[in-house]
Amino acid sequence: MHFKTRAIHVGNEKCAATGAVVRPLHLAATYVQPGAGEWGEFDYSRSGNPTRAALESTLASLEAGCGALAFASGMAAIHCAMGLLKAGDHVLAGSDIYGGTYRLLHKISSRAGIQVTLVDTTDLASVEAAITPATRLLWIESPGNPRLTITDIGACAEVAHRHDALLGVDSTFATPVLTRPLELGADLVMHSATKYIGGHSDLVGGALVVRDPSLWDELYFVQNATGGIMGPWEAFLCSRGLKTLAVRVCEQSRTALELATWLSSHDRVARVHYPGLPDHPGHDIARRQMEGGPFGAMLSFELRGEFAEAKRFVEATHLFQLAVSLGAVESLIEQPASMSHASYDAADRKKHGIADGLIRLSVGLEAYEDLQQDLEGAFGVL
Ligand SMILES: *Cc1c(COP(=O)(O)O)cnc(C)c1O
């Protein structure tokens, strides 16, 4: 079956009891056991819940994995992945990553004696050079956040495996519609389901998907032991969101490409970061690893101006609402230096190219013409 068909039918088999075409929402915390010391399919909802399990089977199918795990948030999913590591292990992570991942690695994982290094993962020689004998996990994002850098997932998998490390990919921006990292050699895919999977800014959730059953067992053990599970209501909404994921992502990406093209010829714009533009340094890899395009609905651009101009700009749009988060049907705008990446140290922001004049857009499902006019209006206040 094709992706769009699996998104609707896998994990959404009709209800055996009633014939309902939408799976019921199971809110029960606990399940009657067949006998003392005997276990049925479900026993306690932290350990397993039918609504969550249905979502996990859809996600596993869409990411070409053997199994998935759904979490209370994207950060809970990443935290679970870091639970694979022990004191003395080293994580090598990309420098163009989510601000919260940076914070988790540097301020929480580090407390447990896990070593962290950031590296520009678009440069494979640097990745290779930064690997140490203690490196157990390479953690990347493609497209990256907020500069939309493109990392070659297949090549990183090869480097990681040569050094007996796992490759984890935060694929929140790409979604399984555009990129399936497990097919490219990654061991583990992570999503903030808050973003495209939910798609409507009305839930917080996360997911991990893997292709090796023993890795799934290890992660399941950590999830069940630490408890950061997704609740049934969020799982229900995510399952609903997945049914329209492909049409949303393709349509939003089309509008993003049009906006990126228009912005790149605007005289108030110094630079546009969008992998769909032919002059983006990662364009050729993106073509390969994003199925020839579309290239996603996230883009960022640098104003000809500094912190104050970018702040004025993001405060001047109306349809693009000033908020962190991304991936939903409504368009959002933000200034990474003061918002999504405020948890980076200022020096690290500078080192990793997150300029004060950088603006990030999450392009929603509104009409291109209205979004373009909205941005044009904001240029007027500069
Ligand atoms: C939002 C986000 C996260 C964190 O997910 P939450 O659901 O907010 O915990 C991680 N990675 C990326 C790329 C994100 O955009």
**Residue-wise DSSP of 34-53:** SBTTB--S-SBTTT--HHHH
- pLDDT tops 90 at residue 343: no
SS3 (DSSP) at 321: strand
Q: Which two tokens stand for residue 99?
A: 């601000």
Contact 160, 166 (CB under 8 A): yes
Which tens digits make up the pLDDT trace of 32-80? Answer: 999 999 999 999 999 999 999 999 999 999 999 999 999 999 999 999 9
Question: Which stretch of DSSP H or E encloses residue 300?
Answer: strand 298-303
DSSP calls for 344-375: S-HHHHHHTT--TTEEEEE--SS-HHHHHHHH
> Catalytic site residues?
46, 98, 170, 195
Spatial distance between the Cα atoms of 84 and 86, rounded to a whole number of angstroms? 7
In this prediction, residue 341 carries a pLDDT of 86
Tell which one of 105, 172, 238 to mutate to probe ligand 1, the residue whose CB is within 8 A of the most ligand atoms. Answer: 172
Residue of the CA atom closest to atom 2 of ligand 1: 192
- Average pLDDT of the residues of the chain: 96
**Domain ranges within the chain, ordered by starting residue:** 3-242, 246-379
Q: Which atom of ligand 1 is nearest to the CA of 145?
A: 13
How large is the angle between the packed helices 245-264 and 232-243, nearest 10 degrees?
70
- pLDDT tops 80 at residue 344: no
Q: Ligand 1 within 6 A of 238 CB?
A: no
- Write down the pTM of the prediction: 0.97
Tell which one of 71, 73, 75 to mutate to probe ligand 1, the residue whose CB is within 8 A of the most ligand atoms. Answer: 75
Q: Does domain 3-242 have CATH number 3.40.640.10?
A: yes
- Nearest CA to 321 out of 266, 271, 371 is that of 371
Which CATH homologous superfamily contains domain 246-379?
Aspartate Aminotransferase, domain 1 (3.90.1150.10)
Q: Which two tokens stand for residue 369?
A: 């013409």
* Local confidence band at 348 (pLDDT 50, 70, 90 cut-offs): confident
